[in-house]
Structure 1
Amino acid sequence: MATVELTKENFKQKVDASDITVLDFWAPWCGPCKMFGPTFESVSENHPDILFGKVNTEQQQELGAHFNIRSIPTLMVIRENVLLYSEAGALPKPALEELIGQIRAVDMQEVHAEVAKMQAAEA
């Protein structure tokens, strides 16, 4: 699957419909973002079952604010509506592929149980 442009209008629908979402927060004026773009696109073609979404922080300031984006590029990975990874900076292709492998290996039953415990403790 090629990358998809995500906006505040389609974000929830697209992310909810995908088991795993990899997000690239970027801006057109950002040099490192431009360098990372082809890597992100290339890796997306290797994983047609994963949503690779690009969020232009210039046009989608509300999404950038919602995710507390302070520098770009920022890469985030959401699985089953749980944010599992968030890090500023571009990754080389092998590191991005390794990250995806690690995300696939996460035991989501354990993650959801831990999230439920944390929510219960806060209530």
Structure 2
Amino acid sequence: METTYATQAPDRQAVDAMPGATLLEFGTPWCGWCRGAQPAIATAMASHPKVRHLKVEDGSGRPLGRSYRVKLWPTLIFLRDGVEVSRLVRPDDAGSIAQALAAIDA
């Protein structure tokens, strides 16, 4: 599991081309909702070590977040071979995250 938000995000084409399972997490290090979700994300990710986790700092004018129409943080987007399978906005329990991870980690 990634623990630091990347300030330099990959471009959308690179994300769309990623093979396999990817969890794309949008947020910021100062966001209370984002900090509060970290234990649930860590718990869920522990059972899915092969899932790629991209933790991207989001904000006004950040093109990757805008391309996914992110409005609230944290937003978790679950991708399989670059295609969005599901998303969770402000998740508050490990169970819903684990269920979404299981759907992409086949």
Distance 2:67 2:47 in 1: 29
Over residues 22-79 of structure 1, what are the superposed CA-to-partner deviations in whole Å (9 max), with x where a residue is unaligned? 1111112321110112322333232121101111114981211121111111111110
Give the match's secondary structure for 1:102: helix
Q: Spell out structure 1 runs of 4+ moving beyond 3 A.
A: 4-7, 9-18
Q: How many equivalent residue pairs? A: 104
2:78 is aligned to 77
For CA contacts below 8 A with separation 6 or more, give which structure has more relative contact order.
Answer: 2
AA of the residue aligned to 1:100: L
Structure exhibiting the larger radius of gyration computed from Cα positions: 1
With normalisation by structure 2, the TM-score equals 0.75
Structure (1 or 2) with the greater helix fraction = 1
For structure 1, list consecutive stretches of 5 or more residues without a partner in the other structure: 106-123
Matches within 5 A, 1:21-36: 21-36=22-37
Task: Between 13-22 and 49-58, report the one with greater CA deviation.
Answer: 13-22
2:88 maps to 1:87: yes
Give the match's secondary structure for 2:45: helix
For structure 2, list consecutive stretches of 5 or more residues without a partner in the other structure: none
- By how many angstroms is 1:85 displaced? 0.9
1:56 is aligned to 57
With normalisation by structure 1, the TM-score equals 0.67
